Chains A and B, each alone.
Chain A
Amino acid sequence: MSTATQTPRIPAYDVAATVTDPELPMLTLEDLGVLRSVEEHHGTGGPGSPGDRVEVAITPTYTGCPAMASMRDDLVHRLHGAGYDDVRVRVQLSPAWSSDWITERGRRALAEAGYSTPGPARHHAGDAPVALNLLPTRRAITCPRCGSADVELTSEFGATACKALYRCAACLEPFEHVKEI
Chain B
Amino acid sequence: MRYVLISHEKIDIESCINKVKSDSAGAISSFIGTTRDEFNGKKVIKLEYEAYESMALSEINKVCDTIESKYNDIKHIVIIHRIGDVPVGESSIVIFISSAHRSSSLEAVHYAIDTIKSIAPIWKKEYYSDGSIWKGNCESCHYH
Q: Do A and B come from one complex?
A: no
Binding site for A on B (CB under 8 A): none
